[in-house]
Amino acid sequence: MKRIVALSLLLAAFIGGVQAQELNCQVQVQAPQVNNVDPSRFQTLEESVRDFMNSRKWTNDYFELEERIECNILITINSAANQNSFSGSIQIQSSRPVYNSDYKAPVFTVNDGDFAFTFLDNALIQFSIDQHRDNLSSTLAYYAYMIIGMDYDTFSPEGGTEHFLKAQTIVANAQNAGDAGWKASEGQRNRYWLVENILSQTFRPLRACLYKYHRDGFDKLYSDPDGGRKAISDAIIDMRNIHRIKPSSYNVQLFFAAKNVELVKLFEIAPDPEIQRILPVLKELDPGNISRYEQALG
């Protein structure tokens, strides 16, 4: 079973089976406005980031090749102080398979605009959970653990806690580094608050939603479409408890950034009573997409 260390897999590893890493990460680096850097530097950066994400063992769990978590990283460089110092944004997307389907459900989508880093030519990206070496390695490792934590939450109730705690450790180590995106005082939409929220009591309905939405919802749509949609509706409705305490919270916004298109496709074919039940909740929790919901489901 996924994410479980089975005796057969352990024996296979000793016999000579291949143990896959956790992530299958596609990486793209673009710098459309940067003219003062050799373009080959960005290709080297792209390859180094890809190798860092895919070659490192992030957990103690055993993954088969087809179980790797599908994810994408897009680094956009807006400016370069020199050949080694860059600033821009990093966009992360991850997905997970749906049972009895070829569909990959989006799980985690974030666009982080606080991304400045140094990358030396031909230097390996090195990371230690015990210290903040540099902003590039810490940011990549932080999002690796967030991707894994979110994925694990979709397969077991609050299954990602261990990995969120590692992401939180990275945040703590970066507090004195001077790089943006790590501190509570810098606003409500950054790396600090993303993991701080997910580990707080207030956001437990979101974590419960991640599990119920995928395991009780999407994974059962093939065998029980009505029951699967109801489980998804119930999970989203329960997130109202977060909205009452922290309206328009960053984590809930990110959930709907990943899910709004999927939700429209799911419920536009649902019976009218189901639509009338979920539509006001979607509009309340995700006001940025009200027009999308009204056009498709109203």
Residue 22, token pair as written in the block: 């956790």
The verdict on 3 and 107 lying in the same domain is yes
Phi, psi of 77 (to 5 degrees): -95, 120
Q: Which residues contact 150 (CB under 8 A, 6 or more apart)?
A: 94, 107, 108, 160, 210
Domain with 192 in it: 1-199
Could you say which of 143, 168, 199 is where a domain stops?
A: 199
Contact criterion met (CB below 8 Å) for 147 and 92 = yes
- pLDDT for position 207: 98
Residues of the chain scoring pLDDT < 70: 1-19
| Domain end among 142, 172, 199 | 199
Residues 218 and 190 in one domain: no
Residues 87 and 211 both lie in one domain: no
Residues 167 and 28 in one domain: yes
Q: Based on the domain organization, do 190 and 229 belong to the same domain?
A: no
Q: State the pLDDT at residue 153.
A: 98
Structural domain count, the chain: 2
What's the burial of 269, exposed, middle or buried (CB within 10 Å: 0-12/13-18/19+)?
exposed
CB burial string 114-145: b at 16+ within 10 A, e below: bbbbebeeeeebebeeeebebbbbbbbbbbbb
> Which of 164, 199, 234 delimits the end of a domain?
199
Q: How far apart are CA 96 and CA 103, in angstroms?
A: 9
Instruction: Say what the pTM is.
Output: 0.92
Residues 10 and 108 in one domain: yes
The answer on 210 and 70 residing in a single domain is: no
